[in-house]
Amino acid sequence: MSGFDRLSVKPGLPPMEAKLVEALPTDAGWRYEPKWDGFRCLIFKAGDEIELQSKSGKPLARYFPEIVTAVRARKDDMIVADGELIIPIGDHLSFDALQMRLHPAESRIRRLARETPAQLMLFDCLVGEAGESLLDRPLSQRRRALEQLHVREATPAFRLSPYTEDPDLARQWLDHAGGALDGVVAKRRDGVYEAGERAMLKVKQMRTADCVVGGFRYAAKSREVGSLLLGLYNEAGKLDHVGFTSSIPAEARPALTKRLEALSEPPGFTGNAPGGPSRWSTDRSGDWQPLRPELVAEVRYDHVTGNRFRHGTKFLRWRPDKAPEQCRMDQLEPEARPAQLATTLEGAS
């Protein structure tokens, strides 16, 4: 018999999720929380049995032994809480460091846990101190239970994510948070925990960058442009490949293809180039056309990982007024240190 059988809320519970919206709701009854850039994680504790569960339901405990140790050290006999695993390194949150934990070698995981320890940013409590389920309780009550859980044994491994009921302040978080946040989530103050449902609303943090178009790829089934390859100049003055955009209107592709073909000239990227040794390489990485570094495009993006856009970007406009050499890597630096940001947000909530 598993110790988890004693829990009123058991492992396997799908987390409550958020629906992406364009703008935060501003009518009464909403609370706003930062959406941290990390791994979603539900923690379950029943005595000495600990489970860390990912958003998809997979176990995370073996990859974050320092969090397991911190949970086990707590005097609370039963804990079920919702949060986000993050790894602060220097001035920013490192999503790369999180991904490096998903490794089969236990020795490597243990070493990384010592060198780059993770933290758990808590934002919801699903059982009370006596072990009763809080799933049907309003958010305001679950938050009080979370604050009591946190204050009983505050440790560096656990942080209490702040909240506000001021929509103007929530919008300021989006504007000034830099790379520390994934966005802002809106939850009903009287809302219950709807496991597996998109019952929250989320506005993603989007930023823009001016990039040099250092190359392009043809579309898979035509000789028209399929995607633009984007570059930024590094400190050594070399043009590094940082991502791509494929959001090109269909009606613009024929003329753009001719324009790009007229600029076709190696090497395109003089620093890190598509097809070079990196974990982003694919079978198609070498199938690209280099360009003279003359075109500058403004794109919108959400996250940066390892000096690259983590996802595809959205093309916004051409920037003929911008010199290519002005498009530097420093555009991608985080605008706020995570620790400072958390302290600021906590003070405002």
CA distance linking residue 303 with residue 299, whole number of Å: 12
Tokens of 267: 């090497």
Give which of 258, 255, 253, 228 is closest to 243, Cα–Cα: 228
DSSP 13: P
CA distance linking residue 98 with residue 117, whole number of Å: 10
CA distance linking residue 295 with residue 102, whole number of Å: 38
Run of H or E residues at 180: none
CA distance linking residue 275 with residue 198, whole number of Å: 38
Query: Which is the catalytic residue, given 10, 35, 187, 221?
Result: 35
Position of tokens 């919108």? 300
Q: Are 218 and 76 in contact (CB under 8 A)?
A: no
Torsion from C-alpha of 335, 340, 344, 346, nearest 10 degrees = 130
Torsion from C-alpha of 65, 306, 302, 172, nearest 10 degrees = 80
Concatenated DSSP letters of 165-199: S-HHHHHHHHHH-GGGEEEEEEEETT----TTSEE
CA distance linking residue 22 with residue 73, whole number of Å: 42
The question of whether 55 is a catalytic residue gets the answer: no
CA torsion through residues 75, 76, 78, 82, sign: negative
Cis amide prior to 277 (ω within 30 degrees): no
Tokens of 13: 């519970």
Give which of 19, 17, 145, 34 is closest to 86, Cα–Cα: 34
The catalytic site residues sit at 35
